[in-house]
């Protein structure tokens, strides 16, 4: 049942990522697959975070039409780093989760653009450092705003995982 929920979540997120920017211009700055990857990274399960990051990244590459594999690599790496941070530190506080989301968004944008530049591909959105700063700022804002809503929804969908995560943190830090 848990695997079915994860697969369905991946499918719905990729569908929303494909459709929403066409209707709401703000969503061009929101990377829903990244938000879901960070959510699963915060579940203290590195393999789950990496696998969902890979699936969402590759699916996002297919949806967006970019170089296949760049988004998959970036989201797999972000999922792993967030999962390792959540294993080492108590990141249950909502403000800590949003701070991790903001850092992940900025890192993801910089990594994504850096990989495109390493592969000698041009991005029409980024021609100067000012454009890069603007894009990182807007994506960080958009992803963090989307995370406020999406984390609540995902906590309801995956309530048994959230309860297990809270119990593990209690055991580790308070006993």
Within 13 A of 19's CA, how many CA atoms are on the CB side?
6
Q: In b/e form, how buried is each residue of 41-66, taking b as 16+ CB within 10 angstroms? A: bbbbbbebbbbbbbbbbbbbbeeeeb
Maximal CA-CA distance, the chain: 53
* 58 in a structural domain: yes
* 22 in a structural domain: no
Residue 173 above 60 pLDDT? Answer: no
What's the confidence (pLDDT) of residue 171? 62
* 47 in a structural domain: yes
Name residues whose C-beta falls within 8 Å of residue 65's C-beta, 6 or more positions apart in sequence: none
Q: Which of 38-52, 91-105, 111-125 has the least mean pLDDT?
A: 111-125
What residues make up the domain containing 111?
Answer: 2-17+32-174
* 111 in a structural domain: yes
- Model-level pTM? 0.90
What's the confidence (pLDDT) of residue 47? 95
* 78 in a structural domain: yes
Give the ranges where 89-128 is alpha helix by DSSP (H). 94-118
Count of domains observed in the chain: 1
What's the confidence (pLDDT) of residue 126? 85
* 93 in a structural domain: yes
Under a CB-based contact definition with an 8 Å cutoff, are residues 144 and 98 in contact? Answer: yes
CATH assignment of the domain containing 11: 1.10.1760
Q: Report the share of the chain in percent with pLDDT over 70.
A: 91
What's the confidence (pLDDT) of residue 63? 86
* 88 in a structural domain: yes
Under a CB-based contact definition with an 8 Å cutoff, are residues 60 and 17 in contact? Answer: yes
Under a CB-based contact definition with an 8 Å cutoff, are residues 72 and 57 in contact? Answer: yes
Residue where the block lists tokens 């029409």: 124
* 64 in a structural domain: yes
Considering only residues 53 and 124, tell me which one the structure prediction assigns the higher pLDDT. 53
What's the confidence (pLDDT) of residue 64? 84
Under a CB-based contact definition with an 8 Å cutoff, are residues 24 and 32 in contact? Answer: no
């Amino acid at each position: 049942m848990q695997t079915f929920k994860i697969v369905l979540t991946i499918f719905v997120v990729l569908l929303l990522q494909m459709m929403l920017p066409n209707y709401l211009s703000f969503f061009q700055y929101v990377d829903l697959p990244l938000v879901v990857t960070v959510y699963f990274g915060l579940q203290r399960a590195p393999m789950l975070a990496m696998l969902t990051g890979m699936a969402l990244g590759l699916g996002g590459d297919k949806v967006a039409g970019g170089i296949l594999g760049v988004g998959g690599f970036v989201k797999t790496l972000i999922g792993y780093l967030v999962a390792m941070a959540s294993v080492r530190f108590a990141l249950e506080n909502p403000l800590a989760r949003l701070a991790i989301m903001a850092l992940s968004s900025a890192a993801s944008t910089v990594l994504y653009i850096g990989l495109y530049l390493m592969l000698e591909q041009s991005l029409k959105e980024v021609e100067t450092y000012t454009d890069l700063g603007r894009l990182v700022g807007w994506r960080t804002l958009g992803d963090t705003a989307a995370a406020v809503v999406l984390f609540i929804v995902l906590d309801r969908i995956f309530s048994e995982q959230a309860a297990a995560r809270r119990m593990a943190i209690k055991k580790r830090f308070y006993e």
